[in-house]
Amino acid sequence: MQPIHGTQKQSMPSRACSRLATVLSCGLLLSGCALYHPLPLARGPDLAGSLASLRTEVPATRPSEPPRRIAIDRPLAIDDIGLLAVLNDPGLRSEQGQTEVAQANLLQSSLLPNPSASVDYGELLGGAGGFAPAWTASLTQDVKSILTYHTRKKSAKFQAQQVNADLLWQQWQVAQAARLLALDLYYGERSLDLSRRELGLLDQEVKDVRTATQAGNLDLTALAPLLTAKAGAEQAVASLGLTEMQNWQALDALLGLEPKMRFAIAAPSLPPLPANLAPLLVGLPDRRPDLVALQLGYRSADEDVRAAIISQFPALVLGGQWGQDTTNVRSAGPTATFDLPIFDRNQGQVAQTRATRLLLHEQYQSRLDDAFGTVTGLDAQVRRLTADVRSAGTAAAAAEMMSDSAQKAYAQGNMEQRSLADFETTALERRIEALALERSLGETEITLIVELGLGLPQARIVPPLNSRKP
C-alpha cells in the first residue's frame, strides 16, 4: 500500500501543473480576443457657444511643418474661417469612422484564412478482430485564397487610399462653402448698410414732399415715384436682411456654433490668379482629391479583375491525413479537394469586375472632362467680372463725386433738396451694384481656386478627438 500512496502523492503535483497549464493556455487565447466596450449615444447637441470653444489649432500636414493656431481675437480672414469649418464641422465627424472602416477592410484583406483541422475518434465497443480504437486526423489549407492574396490586399489598399482622398475632397467642399458664406456676409453687410442709407434718404424725401404738397407748393404726382422707390428700397433691405440671417445660420452650422453666434469678418484678400492656366490644367488630375480618389478606385477595380481571373482556376484545398483503424493499422497521406469547373468557371465574377472597372473608367473621364470645362468657364467668368467690377467701380466713384458736388451746391443754396436726394440715392445704388459685382467676382475666384486644386491643404486635417475646449 505504501507504493500506491507514494504514486498518488507524486501524481497530484502533476495534475496541478496540468490544470495550471490549461488555465494559462485559455488565458493566452482569451488575451488575443477582442472585448466589448459600450459606446453610448449623446442625449443633446454639442454646439459651441463662442469662438473660444472651437478647435483652433491646425495640425501639421507635413513632418517639417509646425501646427498653427488661428487667432480668434481679431476679424477672421475667409481662409481661416474655411479652416475653422474643417476643424469643427459636425458633418465631418464621421470621417474617423469611415477611415477606421477602410482600415478594418484592409486588415481583413491582409489575413489569410486559417487552416482547417478535423479529428474523428471511434471507441471500440465489440466485434471480432478489433482490439484498438479508431481515429482519423486531417489538416488542410485553401490554396486558392493564397493565390489571390496579393491582388486582394492591393485592392483593399487602394480602397483605403480612395477613402482618404474622398474625405480630403469633402474637407475642401466644407472649406469652400464656409469661405463663400463668409464672403457673402462681408459684402452683404455692406450692401445692407448702403441700402438702409438709401431707404433713409428716400424716407426723408417722402416726408419733405408730403410737407410741400400739404403746403400747396407741389402736386401729388411728385409723390408717386418717391413712394415706388421707397417700396423697392424697403423690399431690398428686407431681402438683404433675411439673406444675411440665413447665411449666418449656415456658417454657424458649418463651424459647429450655436445659430445666434456672430463675429467680425476681415476684408477678403484673394491671391492673384495665374495668367496662364495651361500648366495648372496639366497637373490637375494629381492635385484634385476627387480625381485622385477616382483613379484609386479604378486601380482597386483593376486588381479585382486580376483576382477574378485568378479565381477561374478550380478551388483547391491541400493537406494531410493521419488515421488508425480498429486493428491498430496506421496510415497517413496527402489529401486534395478541388472543384470540377463544369458549370461555374467564375465567369460571372469576371464579368462583374470588368463591368465595374469600365464604369469607373468612364466616370473618371467624365469627371476629368467636367473639371477641365468648369475651369475654363470659370476663368472666362473671372475675366468678364474683372472688367465689369472695374467699370462699376469707375461709375460708382463718378456718382459719388457728383453727389459731393450736389451737397456743396445745396449748401450754397444752388440746388433743391429733391435733386440732392436723387444724386445721393444714385451714388448709393451705384456703390451697391459695384459691391454685388465684387462679391460675384470673389465667389467665382474662390470656386476657380478649388476647381484648380489650389489654396487648401493637400493632406487631410485630422483634429484630435475630444479636443474642444470646455
Residue 319 within any structural domain of the chain: yes
In the prediction, which pLDDT does 221 show?
Answer: 72
Residue 48 within any structural domain of the chain: no
**Residues near 11 by beta carbon (within 8 Å), at least 6 away in sequence:** none
Residue 336 within any structural domain of the chain: yes
**Residues near 248 by beta carbon (within 8 Å), at least 6 away in sequence:** 185, 259, 261, 262
Domain count, the chain: 1
Residue 108 within any structural domain of the chain: yes
In the prediction, which pLDDT does 270 show?
Answer: 84
Residue 267 within any structural domain of the chain: no
Question: What secondary structure does DSSP assign to 188-218, as a single string?
Answer: HHHHHHHHHHHHHHHHHHHHHHHHHHHTTSS
pLDDT in tens, 289-313: 999 999 999 999 999 999 999 888 8
In the prediction, which pLDDT does 329 show?
Answer: 85
Whether the Cβ atoms of residue 152 and residue 109 lie closer than 8 Å to each other: yes
- The label of the residue with cell 408730403 reads 210
Dist. CA 434–CA 117, nearest whole Å: 80
Residue 305 within any structural domain of the chain: no
Residue 400 within any structural domain of the chain: no
Whether the Cβ atoms of residue 462 and residue 407 lie closer than 8 Å to each other: no
CA dihedral (162, 163, 167, 173) positive or negative: positive
Taking the model in full, what pTM does it have?
A: 0.83
**First-to-last C-alpha distance (Å) of the chain:** 78
Dist. CA 79–CA 175, nearest whole Å: 8
**Residues in the chain, pLDDT under 50:** 1-11, 469-470
pLDDT in tens, 59-88: 877 777 788 899 999 999 999 999 999 999
In the prediction, which pLDDT does 74 show?
Answer: 92
In the prediction, which pLDDT does 218 show?
Answer: 64
Q: Which residue range(s) make up the domain with 115? A: 99-147+313-345
In the prediction, which pLDDT does 29 show?
Answer: 53
Residue 134 within any structural domain of the chain: yes
